[in-house]
Amino acid sequence: MRKLVYLVSAQDDLTSILEYITRESGNLAIGLGFVTALRSKCAKLASLPGTLGRHRPDLRSDIRSSAFKGYVIFFRYEGEFLEIVNVLEGHCDIVAYYGDDVI
């Protein structure tokens, strides 16, 4: 099992998602539940053997992605670690988000 690491960028994304879902639903428990489920998906990615997710050379050579309920988890393998790079809403312009300024 790989060790799961959240980069600061991913931690910021999760905070933004929590705030957004809490604001839109009017319920902190719903926001927390969603972010907990997202984190569980990330843990599952780290726990499974092999190379998972979709390779995303359009963004950068080491990035992979996996969808989760309207969001996309971007991650990379770094030795014994699975690093969560970003968690973005699936309808945003992801290519423009990454642009030339790579993590």
User: Mind listing the pLDDT tens digit for each residue in 35-61?
Assistant: 999 999 999 999 998 889 999 988 888
Percent of the chain scoring above 90 in pLDDT: 77
Mean pLDDT of the chain: 92
Considering the domain boundaries, does residue 42 fall inside one? yes
**pLDDT tops 60 at residue 103:** no
**pLDDT tops 70 at residue 102:** no
Looking at the structure of the chain, the number of domains it has is 1
Considering the domain boundaries, does residue 21 fall inside one? yes
Considering the domain boundaries, does residue 36 fall inside one? yes
Considering the domain boundaries, does residue 43 fall inside one? yes
CA-CA-CA-CA dihedral for 77, 5, 59, 103, to nearest 10? -120
Rounded to 5°, the CA angle 96-97-103 comes to 125
Considering the domain boundaries, does residue 41 fall inside one? yes
Sign of the dihedral defined by the CA atoms of residues 93, 67, 50, 12, in that order: positive
Which residue range(s) make up the domain with 20?
3-98
pLDDT digits (tens, 9 = 90+) for 78-95: 999 999 999 999 888 877
Interval 7-29 mean pLDDT = 97
**pLDDT tops 90 at residue 68:** yes
Considering the domain boundaries, does residue 103 fall inside one? no
- List the CATH number of the domain containing 22: 3.30.2310.20
